[in-house]
Amino acid sequence: MAEGPRQSPRPWKVLDSRYSFIDPWIRLRGDTLLLPNGQVQARCHIFEYPDWADVIALTVDLNIVLVDQYRHSVGQTRTEFPAGVVDDGEEPLAAIKRELLEETGYASANWHLIGTAPVNPARQTNRIHSFLALDARKVAEQNLDEGEIIRAYELPWSEFVAQVETGGIELPALQLAGLYLLQTYARRSADPRLAVLRF
Amino acid sequence: MAEGPRQSPRPWKVLDSRYSFIDPWIRLRGDTLLLPNGQVQARCHIFEYPDWADVIALTVDLNIVLVDQYRHSVGQTRTEFPAGVVDDGEEPLAAIKRELLEETGYASANWHLIGTAPVNPARQTNRIHSFLALDARKVAEQNLDEGEIIRAYELPWSEFVAQVETGGIELPALQLAGLYLLQTYARRSADPRLAVLRF
């Protein structure tokens, strides 16, 4: 991104800050705030997440690499792009290369950062980093965490796009953002291989 | 959406379920699970959120209605579409009409549901509902919650798109999803006014 968002003086003063809940994937922080109008707001809750990353991984034949997995939060098997958490001190690119390899066994030597954005600044602290990987190919078996059941498979790009548009595949909203970023990236790129990715 | 995601038999059995944290905007639930491999996973955390809604609101002159507000989570003033929480028992359309009016004073009689998607099924239970409102116009003053400071303003659609693409405006990832849904909706619509919204 060429410029960041507009900075502003912080209009809310933090009077007190404490954690209600901590695990490796989130810290839930309650701040007591002095608002600009002089009022005190108790326990404004902030979700401190690590950054996230996801990837639109395409083979040389323009198949997209997808993962189906059971998501306990919604009680369904969902289709998603490979994605994961950026570990502390890790670069987003390193994180998504690791996640792609673990979840699918695929690797690529041709990576593009297509965009990065705050996930949901209304309550969350973190950003998502979206990548495109070209020439992805299977180089290993999956290496899943205990309890993970992930089906990784390829689908022709055109069929994938048609299924997303007709509802046969319903991506998470966060990953629809990746499709928008890909469109913008492909339109601005001189690489002829990216032209075919435009809708 | 024409079809839902694939349903599957629930492969994880819930042995115990309890709440770690509850407020009006989230309930943090810890489930102890029996995994298909026979292992027990303690305290898998699920974020029970109400659904969310947002709107790409355009005036008859094709200006988009945006809001700038300070977001304590990231310590910055951010530019966003009007958005909010769907209250218990409320329809998403009613919720976003209410939020648009409260945050900006604008209303519309020409609403389109452009898409709905689970926000982040990896951990969250909720969906986001994205709307397009045409012929939006200012009918009232803002009606903000205590402590809210929101600057509502119009920007020509073409300038908005250019700023998003060059980084002058950095939307939340969740709202980039709305731009993707708008593209798909506009391409499939016969309404000539939507044709100009295609990038």
Q: Are B47 and B123 in contact (CB under 8 A)?
A: yes
Task: Check pLDDT > 90 for residue B40.
Answer: no
Q: Round to the nearest angstrom and report the end-to-end CA distance of chain A.
A: 22
Q: For residues A87 and A25, what is the distance between their CA atoms, to the nearest angstrom?
A: 10
Integer Cα distance of A195 and A184 in angstroms: 11
Confidence at A197, pLDDT banded by 50, 70, 90: confident
Which chain B residues touch A7 with a CB distance below 8 Å?
A: 76-77
Q: Is the dihedral of CA A164, A166, A170, A175 positive or negative?
A: positive
Q: Which pLDDT tens digit goes with each residue over B151-192? A: 999 999 999 999 999 999 999 999 999 999 999 999 988 888
CA distance A137 to chain B (A): 25
List, for residues A2-22, the tens digit of each pLDDT value.
334 455 556 788 999 999 888
| Predicted confidence (pLDDT) at residue B4 exceeds the cutoff of 60 | no
Indicate if the pLDDT at residue A139 is higher than 90: yes
Q: Is B58 exposed, middle or buried (0-12, 13-18, 19+ CB in 10 A)?
A: buried
Closest CA to A50 of B117, B123, B22: B123
Question: Mean per-residue pLDDT for A39-61?
Answer: 91
CB B42 within 8 A of CB A110: no
* Sequence-distant (≥ 6) Cβ neighbours of residue A190 within 8 angstroms: none
* Residues of B with Cβ-Cβ distance to A199 under 8 angstroms: 183-184, 187
State the Cα–Cα distance between residues B61 and B81, nearest whole angstrom: 18
Residues B90-142: pLDDT tens digits?
Answer: 999 999 999 999 999 999 999 999 999 999 999 899 999 999 999 999 999 99
A59-73 pLDDT per residue, tens: 999 999 999 999 989
Name the residue with higher pLDDT: B145 or B32: B32
Distance CA(A81)–CA(A83), nearest Å, equals 6
Contact B180 A184 (CB under 8 A): no
Q: Is the pLDDT of residue A96 over 70?
A: yes
Tell me the fold of B52-195: Nucleoside Triphosphate Pyrophosphohydrolase (3.90.79)
B46 CB neighbours in chain A (<8 A) are: 72-73
Q: Taking Cα atoms as reference points, which of B87, B79, B77, B78 lies closest to residue B53?
A: B87
What pTM, to 2 d.p., does this model score? 0.91
pLDDT level of residue B78 (50, 70, 90 thresholds): very high
Each residue's pLDDT tens digit, A112-138: 999 999 999 998 999 999 999 999 999
Angle, CA A163 vertex, CA A157 and CA A168 arms, to 5°: 145
Of chain B, the end-to-end C-alpha distance in Å amounts to 22
